[in-house]
């Protein structure tokens, strides 16, 4: 038997006045009655002054003494068995990609962390374990206060593949879960930086090894029609090989009979990166691989085909013949767009004449005026990227509404309204702009801007640590399918989502139907640099000396039940005896 609060036993002192009250009797005045039957039970009466007498209600005294003892045991937090005590241990594991690096014995840092965590649980005799994983967003792997077997099982299933991050938010969360002065353990592959203030009860254990490494630090894929361009960046960290063979395999895409495999011999600079750019025709998924080293995860990536719907475009009624012909020629040469049905309500990009509610209006109203320059364009606007108007004859009419983007004198040639509508004030029957490069470049910029507001991911290839951004339509229900499960997406328009916890394929669904796909690559230059990793064990500065602190919820309630039962029994005995 043990007590969580021994000072509660002082309540046993109430037994002294209780027993004294039962022994002490006071003189009572005689009471004259008309008949003896009014007394149910004759009782002896003290004849003179207070004096000690043998008490006669032993059962009532015993019940009240039992109630005092029960109250004292409850206040002292009595413990009848050792399992009633809790030994809570909080474990924190680093979730960064470098934890997957292999040491000289072929085991990863994460595997060594799992063995060390099991050892700590056994040494501490922990009955409850909480496991956290650091990351850009801290994660709870097990608990709070789970069984040790379940907590260690969750650590076995955990894979560290996150981006570089600051572990302090997770460590502060662990301190709150553990409680002041209670032990915590953090397993990582790097020593704490100088000047870092750690929680006083934290034991920092680094299990890494400094190694040289060669890895991919970035990869991009661009599809234009059937042509696929793959751009890769390879870096060397430390005194590794001066060159490496990079294998790129393009699987056959839709309509292609066979794929293609290329091996590029890449010379690696001492500082910086080497860039490799390859082009394939009719490629499906593209697999990129480097020779395996201590961190193979950053040497293997798969770049999937875009697999996205073309941007839907529709030409409204009322366009002049020259404007319609020029727009149709551009759309036919652009594989990223597709014509929308005439009665469709969900058109993304609508071209129409001046005076309509089309997203882009092309044409003129009023008296036409021709200009050969000089033209003044707003620098830095995305609609005017690479638009060169030298040598252009531009015929315009009445100035359209909105903010001017291109002007000639007092005439506004291109304008944009606050809601994103674009007005191209041009009469193509009297202009030559449609026969120079400025015309397709301007329309391509318009399509690019419209795609940014198109339903789906704004970027379809991301690196570790980069946030996801999706565009949704009002009134629809969206779900993001990620490697760890499914979660709803709330909001309309451009919705920013936190960076994913790890690499993988992400699918945006609308009402259960797949809308768009994005891939997060397992690449992070800071995680590929293993030169600063090492082994160190920093002991906790302050740990509560009590081996096992009783938990508030473990207080035994049977003394309180005994107290209430004794009081009720005493009330019954006293009332019956009176």
pLDDT reported for residue 545? 54
Q: Is the pLDDT of residue 349 over 70?
A: yes
> Same domain, yes or no, for 64 and 154?
no
Across 340-366, average pLDDT: 77
* CATH code of the domain covering residue 335: 3.40.50.880
Single out the residue in 241, 273, 307 at which a domain terminates: 307
pLDDT at 528: 93
Q: Is residue 527 part of a domain?
A: no
> If we measure between CA atoms, which residue out of 421, 440, 428 comes closest to residue 397?
428
Q: How far apart are CA 307 and CA 141, in angstroms?
A: 34
Query: Which domain does 235 fall in, by range?
Result: 213-307
The band of 551, judged by pLDDT with boundaries at 50, 70 and 90, is very low
Which band of pLDDT confidence, cut at 50, 70 and 90, is reported for residue 271? Answer: confident
pLDDT digits (tens, 9 = 90+) for 508-548: 999 989 988 899 999 999 999 999 999 999 998 876 655 44
Other C-beta atoms closer than 10 Å to the C-beta of 362 total: 25
Distance CA 118, CA 112 (A): 10
Residues in a beta bridge with 360:
351, 422
Three-state DSSP string of 320-371: CHHHHHHHHHHHHCCCCEEECCCCCCCCCEEEECCCCCCCEEEECCCCCEEE
Domain count, the chain: 5
Chain centre distance of CA 370: 57
Q: What distance in Å separates the CA atoms of residue 214 and residue 216, rounded to the nearest whole number? A: 7
pLDDT of residue 39: 57
| Distance separating alpha carbons of residues 159 and 157, to the nearest angstrom | 7
CB atoms within 10 A of CB 22: 18
CA distance 304 to 251: 10
Residues 240 and 101: their CA atoms lie apart, in Å, by 16
Q: What CATH number did the domain enclosing 284 receive?
A: 2.60.40.10
Q: Does residue 320 lie in a domain region?
A: yes
Check if the beta carbon of residue 202 is closer than 8 Å to that of residue 184.
yes
What average pLDDT is seen over the chain? 85
User: Which is more confidently placed, 340 or 427?
Assistant: 427
The b/e string for 532-549 (b: 16+ C-beta within 10 A; e otherwise) is ebebeeeebeeeeeeeee
Q: Is 526 within a domain?
A: no
Same domain, 189 and 57: no
Same domain, yes or no: 189 and 234? no
Rounded to whole angstroms, the Cα distance separating 93 from 171 reads: 10
How far, in Å, CA of 570 to CA of 46, rounded? 25
Cα–Cα distance, 35 to 32 (Å, whole number): 9
User: Are residue 303 and residue 318 in the same domain, yes or no?
Assistant: no
**Which pTM value belongs to this model?**
0.65
pLDDT at 427: 93
pLDDT, tens only, 12-56: 888 888 777 777 655 555 666 666 665 555 555 544 455 545 555
Is the same domain home to 389 and 319? yes
pLDDT, tens only, 372-426: 888 999 888 889 988 888 889 999 999 999 999 999 989 999 999 988 899 999 9
Count of positions (residues) in the chain: 578
């Amino acid at each position: 038997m043990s007590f969580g609060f021994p000072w509660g036993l002082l309540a046993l002192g109430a037994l002294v006045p209780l027993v004294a009250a039962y022994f002490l009797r006071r003189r009572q005045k005689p009471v004259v009655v008309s008949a003896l039957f009014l007394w149910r039970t004759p009782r002896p009466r003290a004849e003179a002054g207070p004096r000690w007498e043998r008490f006669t209600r032993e059962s009532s005294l015993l019940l009240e003494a039992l109630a005092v003892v029960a109250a004292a045991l409850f206040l002292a937090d009595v413990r009848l068995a050792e399992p009633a005590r809790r030994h809570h241990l909080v474990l924190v594991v680093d979730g960064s990609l470098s934890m997957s690096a292999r040491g000289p014995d072929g085991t990863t840092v994460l595997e060594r962390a799992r063995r060390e965590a099991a050892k700590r649980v056994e040494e501490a005799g922990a009955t409850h374990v909480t496991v956290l994983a650091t990351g850009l967003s801290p994660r709870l792997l097990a608990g709070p206060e789970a069984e040790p077997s379940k907590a260690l099982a969750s650590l076995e299933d955990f894979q560290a593949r996150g981006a570089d991050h600051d572990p302090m938010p997770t460590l502060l969360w662990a301190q709150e879960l553990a409680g002041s002065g209670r032990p915590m353990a953090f397993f990582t592959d790097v020593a704490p930086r100088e000047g870092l203030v750690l929680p006083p009860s934290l034991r920092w254990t680094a299990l890494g090894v400094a190694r040289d490494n060669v890895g991919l630090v970035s990869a991009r894929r661009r599809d234009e029609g059937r042509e696929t361009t793959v751009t890769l960046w390879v870096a060397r960290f430390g005194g590794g090989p001066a060159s490496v063979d990079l294998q790129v395999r393009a699987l056959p895409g839709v309509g292609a009979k066979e794929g293609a495999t290329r091996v590029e011999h890449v010379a690696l600079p001492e500082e910086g990166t080497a860039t490799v750019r390859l082009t394939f025709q009719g490629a499906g998924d593209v697999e990129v691989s480097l020779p395996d080293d201590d961190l193979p995860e950053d040497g293997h990536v798969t770049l999937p085909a875009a697999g996205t719907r073309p941007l839907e475009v529709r030409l409204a009624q009322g366009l002049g013949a020259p404007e319609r012909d020029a727009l149709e020629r551009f759309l036919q040469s652009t594989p990223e767009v597709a014509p929308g049905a005439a009665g469709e309500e969900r058109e993304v990009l609508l071209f129409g004449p001046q005076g309509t509610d089309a997203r882009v209006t092309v044409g003129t109203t009023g008296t036409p005026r021709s200009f050969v320059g000089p033209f003044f364009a707003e620098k830095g606007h995305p609609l005017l990227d690479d638009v060169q108007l030298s040598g252009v004859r531009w015929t315009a009419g009445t100035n359209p509404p909105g903010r001017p983007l291109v002007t000639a004198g007092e005439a506004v040639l291109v304008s944009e309204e606050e809601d994103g509508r674009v007005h191209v004030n041009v009469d193509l029957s009297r202009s030559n702009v449609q026969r120079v490069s400025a015309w397709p470049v301007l329309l391509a910029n318009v399509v690019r801007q419209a795609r940014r507001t198109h339903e789906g991911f704004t970027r379809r290839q991301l690196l570790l640590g980069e946030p996801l951004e999706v565009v949704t339509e009002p009134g629809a229900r969206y779900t993001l399918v990620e490697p760890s499960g499914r979660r709803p997406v709330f909001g309309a328009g451009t919705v920013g989502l936190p960076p994913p916890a790890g690499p993988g394929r992400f699918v945006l669904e609308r009402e259960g139907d797949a809308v768009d796909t994005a891939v997060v690559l397992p690449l992070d230059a800071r995680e590929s640099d293993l030169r600063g990793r090492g082994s160190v064990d920093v002991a906790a500065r302050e740990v509560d000396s009590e081996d096992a602190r009783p938990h508030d919820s473990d207080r035994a309630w049977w003394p309180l039940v005994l107290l209430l039962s004794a009081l009720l029994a005493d009330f019954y005995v006293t009332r019956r005896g009176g």
